Structure 1
């Protein structure tokens, strides 16, 4: 993996992980048409620089946290990386995103059980230095595998 791009086998393995990361090496191997040992060896290499982690997809409402909120913020660009990282330390924050360009350059996703908790999170973020432009309640989110990892069909495929 040192400067070499990933190949079609790696892409197929990544696609299978995006579909269901709980699959065993054997299950992935059958779908990709390689041995489970090949899958394990490829995963060991991919986990060093391509795969950043395995995260469960949680239904927060079913877990007792019905408020799922996206704060759209403005942060001084020179402080963006540090502040978005610091925001992860605020209880209730589940993800942050740095955006390129524009005034609204940071998204902070939070989960809470009550409006009061959302207000406390908002205040904690403001205390860090994030200027909150808006807050949006997330009602549903859908995720799909990135299609460029889907196995390509033949040598002339895009």
Structure 2
């Protein structure tokens, strides 16, 4: 059962999405208007409630000698979709999987590799699971940002306020 988030929770989540590693409880408290100990307690509760599921580094795979990044758009039979999606995550080289709710093209798998032989091995493994690859796209770049769906009004967005004088 989901719980209602208040403005403090939404602010904490937004700021952690922006930069969890280097944002301190003090910095969050200064922004959301509660004490650092309240911030730490709220983070602990958000983790316990399963709202914060983990903290993950952003990796430049090309800099890590994995220059090929491919997105496979696959179709799985509806009754086996969840099972096959989990199995796909076990294939060496798979870094991301998205399971879609309905229709064809219902599993998107992102992989990295060092060479075309790596990508071929991954392709064969995906086929062996019983997934039909509808298309494969070579990924040039991925950008992500925290979506301010929490409508946290106190967040510094980096935009300058207009001078009304």
TM-score above 0.5 = yes
User: 1:42-121 alignment to 2 at 5 Å?
Assistant: 42-48=42-48, 49-121=50-122
What count of residue pairs does the alignment treat as equivalent? Answer: 152
Distance 1:38 1:73 in 2: 44
How far the C-alpha of 1:41 sits from its partner, in A, is: 0.5
What SS class does the counterpart of residue 43 from structure 1 fall into? Answer: helix
2:3 corresponds to: 4
Distance 2:86 2:2 in 1: 28
How far the C-alpha of 1:27 sits from its partner, in A, is: 2.0
Give 5+ residue unaligned stretches, structure 2.
155-165
Once superposed, which parts of structure 1, at least 4 consecutive aligned residues long, lie more than 3 Å away?
Answer: none
Which string of whole-angstrom CA distances, capped at 9 and with x for unpartnered residues, describes residues 56-106 of structure 1?
111100111000110000000111111101111100001111112221110
Give 5+ residue unaligned stretches, structure 1.
154-158
Say whether residues 1:131 and 2:132 are aligned partners.
yes
1:156 corresponds to: none
Distance 2:3 2:65 in 1: 45
1:36 corresponds to: 36
- Structure 1 residues 3, 137: CA separation in 2 closer, same or farther (over 3 Å shift)? closer
Distance 1:122 1:143 in 2: 26
Distance 1:54 1:152 in 2: 24
How far the C-alpha of 1:20 sits from its partner, in A, is: 0.3
Distance 1:88 1:36 in 2: 37
Distance 2:150 2:43 in 1: 15
Which string of whole-angstrom CA distances, capped at 9 and with x for unpartnered residues, describes residues 18-77 of structure 1?
110111222221222211101111001111220111111111001110001100000001
Distance 1:146 1:131 in 2: 32
